[in-house]
Chain A
Amino acid sequence: MTGTMAAVGAGLAVIGAGLGIGRIGGSAMDAIARQPEASSKIQINMIVAAALIEGAALFAIVVSLIAKG
């Protein structure tokens, strides 16, 4: 039972990460469309923000790995 709940928890965390990174990607696309010459700066910042969000999602994965015992 704890194994299944841990897996469900991990899946829920990925929903949050997916939504967050999707929004970042969308805003980055809008910004690049508005100002193509700033595209490399925007790209770098997008990757950094995505890594930070992924860090938060991986917190949840670590907790679920611990919870499954």
Chain B
Amino acid sequence: MRFVKGILFSLLLLIFSAPLAAQEEQEATGAEEEFDPGTFILAHIADSHEWHILTKKNGESVAIYLPVIVYQKDKGLDIFSSRRLAEGKEYKGYKVVEEEGDLKGKIVNVKPDGSIDEKNLPLDFSITKAVVGMLFAALIGLWLFVSLGSSYKKTGISNPKGIQSFLEPVVLFVRDDIAIPIIGEKKYEKYMPYLLTAFFFILLNNIIGLIPFPPPFGANVTGNIAVTFVLALCTFLITQFSGNKHYWKDIFAAPGVPVWLLPIMIPVEVIGMFSKPFALMIRLFANITAGHIIVLSLVCLIFIFKSLAVAPVSIFFVIFMDCLELLVAFLQAYVFTLLSTLFIGLAVKEEH
């Protein structure tokens, strides 16, 4: 129990340090130029090839430069540090686009005459900020659950203590309140690994995204639509591959539907098949991104008004919003898992 209290207390402290960290970062540059909250916020939400820590008074930026891994068919695979591409420099024929537009922030090929090749984009496998955040969350999850498993091996299913007492109720909650009621006693076990993975992956990434400091924390992973796309794709593939005969019959030849109505029903059902995971993707992405944008905007209030008197009000609101975001983190993980279970349950349902 003390262990649990310790974790929760330190989490709370870290979350409260959010406004302080952002303040220190901005004071260095606030003096020279007009503060633009829009670009500041969008730069913090978006993925990037370097992990920006602060910008010194003379304009130099202190950042952790992450590796860039690009592949272009005639040039082959190139791995180098993103420091070579920092501030618009060009290296080995690659360049990061700085002008506004569709390609902003992406790595492009530079043609021999110096212009950007807009049609032929290289394949970008770089380790960006979101990838580092994801790997870090995966490491934490791995550590938590491997130690959970090994402590069960040592003591058996007995009185839980330590990390067990923290994780066991959550795992049992996913099994007893989500999986069994919806998928059913006989078939739920096959899908438990995926449901637990989805739940804890989303939960860990949400929480880590809320903690701003130090560097592996604070990466906006679940607020990246590519990540939520892959999660929704996993749910989609699992539902389709475990669909039984009744599931496919319901889509293509629903019982009780007159034949002349089928040309309308089939497209509607197929669209429904795709729109459900699509909604999963958008829901998670928008909730987490909206939360980050709100917290960042409230902190930016201090810099827009340029007065210290706004600070207590702003920080109070930020603390409140951070607590709300913590609730949203749990809730979104739960809703994603619940809806995935519902779709899987629909796919494996027996005719009664």
Contact = CB atoms under 8 A, between A and B. Distances in A.
Interface of A: 47-48, 51-52, 54-55, 58-59, 61-62
Contacts of B286: 55, 58-59, 61-62
Contacts of B282: 55, 58-59, 62
A52 B339 CA distance: 10
Interface stretch (B232-240, B330-338, B344-352): B330-338
Which secondary structure dominates where chain B touches chain A?
Answer: helix
Nearest to A55: B283
A20 B332 CA distance: 18
B104 to A, nearest CB: 13
10 contacts: A48-B335, A51-B283, A54-B283, A54-B287, A55-B279, A55-B282, A55-B283, A55-B286, A58-B282, A58-B287
Contacts of B285: 62
B19 to A, nearest CB: 24
A47 B290 contact: no
A51 B290 contact: no
B331 A55 contact: no
B335 A52 contact: yes
A40 to B, nearest CB: 12
Nearest to B279: A55
Contacts of A47: 331
A24 to B, nearest CB: 14
Contacts of B331: 47, 51
Contacts of A48: 334-335, 338
Contacts of B290: 58, 61
Nearest to B177: A44
Contacts of B279: 55, 59
Nearest to A51: B335
- Nearest first, the 10 A-B pairs at minimum CB distance are A58-B286, A55-B283, A51-B335, A62-B286, A51-B331, A59-B282, A62-B282, A61-B286, A58-B287, A55-B279
B174 to A, nearest CB: 14
Which of B285, B286, B331, B334 has most chain A Cβ within 10 Å?
A: B286
Contacts of A62: 282, 285-286
A18 B168 CA distance: 36
A52 B285 CA distance: 13
Contacts of A54: 283, 287
Contacts of A52: 335
A54 B332 CA distance: 11
Which of A48, A51, A52, A59 has most chain B Cβ within 10 Å?
A: A51
A47 B286 CA distance: 17
Contacts of B283: 51, 54-55, 58
A62 B223 CA distance: 12
Nearest to B287: A58
A59 B290 CA distance: 12
A6 to B, nearest CB: 13
Contacts of B335: 48, 51-52, 55
Interface in B260-308: 279, 282-283, 285-287, 290
A54 B335 CA distance: 11
